Amino acid sequence: MIESVYRKHPQLRPEGARAVAHGWANQVWIVGERLVFRFPRTEQGKRELWQEEQVLPELAGKLGVGIPEFLYRSEADEDVTYAGYRQIPGSQLTAEVFSNMTSAEKMELAVTLGSFLTTLHIHEPTIQLPMIAKEHWAAFYREIEAKAFPLLNGVEQDWTRELFRDFLQDPENFAYTPRLLHGDLSADHLLACSGRLTGVIDFGDLRIGDPAYDFVGLYVEYGATFTQEVLAHYKLPQDEKFWQRVSGFYSGRLSFHSILYGLDTGSDRHVQAGLENLRKTASL
């Protein structure tokens, strides 16, 4: 993969490169310990990278933290798709890193994230993005039923049916104003240094949908108290079921993403991790 970059940008070869663990959608290389190159692994990943290339320049300088600024891009006719940006300072804001932050640092983090999400959610992109709406979740449930239910016992199946039924049948869950979403605001996409948020990366899941969706990663990684502090600094309206969706449906359905990904890619590790998390979440 990295050879495709070197052929087009031979000046980068002497700097050296190393591959880092790839995610579900991308293989990532670090060049010269200063540039990050992402290589989409699927056709969907290529479309999502294109979306990032269109939307992120519109957000540059507005979000209060660093975001990828693509300096290198493959051409449409190239065999390998990629994009490269300057590495943003900081390390992943893991739950362990968060737990070692002082109260003052956590407060500053909550203010920063509240401002970041307010500005992001206000932005109206110039391209059309996929919509996460009621039918998306209905289709997601049908996929769970078809693929994951054979792995679940009767009690687990009943819990899943109830989770989706209660969510889908309540019209108040869809009374929000659709907003631009990061779509995957989890610890591995938040960068921090010396107790401060320095960057947000991996906007591949940019979508239009429920603003509550962008708070579930914070809730799962850092807990309810901190997430509510972020919400206290979030300036957009919150409908009556906003918090219930964060702490209920959106967190409850997370395990199924890992299960389905594992089934689709043949990764038993992801399947088993998803099943284990499901049983913890549902206390089954």
Contacts of 79 (CB under 8 A, 6+ apart): 4
Q: Where are the domains of the chain?
A: 2-86, 91-282
Helix (H) / strand (E) containing 26: strand 26-31
Partnered with residue 92 across adjacent β-strands are 191
Q: What average pLDDT score do residues 74-103 get?
A: 95
Please give the pLDDT value at position 284.
Answer: 53
Q: What average pLDDT score do residues 186-201 get?
A: 96
Q: Please write the tens of the pLDDT for every residue from 208-244.
A: 999 999 999 999 999 999 999 999 999 999 999 999 9
Q: What are phi and psi of 212, to 5 degrees?
A: -60, -25
User: Nearest 5°: CA angle at 71, between 67 and 77?
Assistant: 120
Please give the pLDDT value at position 240.
Answer: 96
Please give the pLDDT value at position 283.
Answer: 76
Q: What average pLDDT score do residues 103-123 get?
A: 98
Q: Please write the tens of the pLDDT for every residue from 14-63.
A: 999 999 976 777 899 999 999 999 999 889 999 999 999 999 999 999 99
Please give the pLDDT value at position 76.
Answer: 84
Rounded CA separation 53/190 (Å)? 19
What is residue 280's three-state secondary structure? helix
The top-level CATH class assigned to 91-282 is: alpha beta
Contact 110, 232 (CB under 8 A): yes
**In angstroms, what CA-CA distances link 62 with 56, 59, 122, 137, 283?**
10, 6, 11, 31, 41
Please give the pLDDT value at position 77.
Answer: 85
Q: What average pLDDT score do residues 159-165 get?
A: 98
Among the four given CATH numbers 3.40.50.620, 3.30.200.20, 3.90.950.20, 2.60.40.10, the one describing domain 2-86: 3.30.200.20
Rounded CA separation 112/154 (Å)? 44
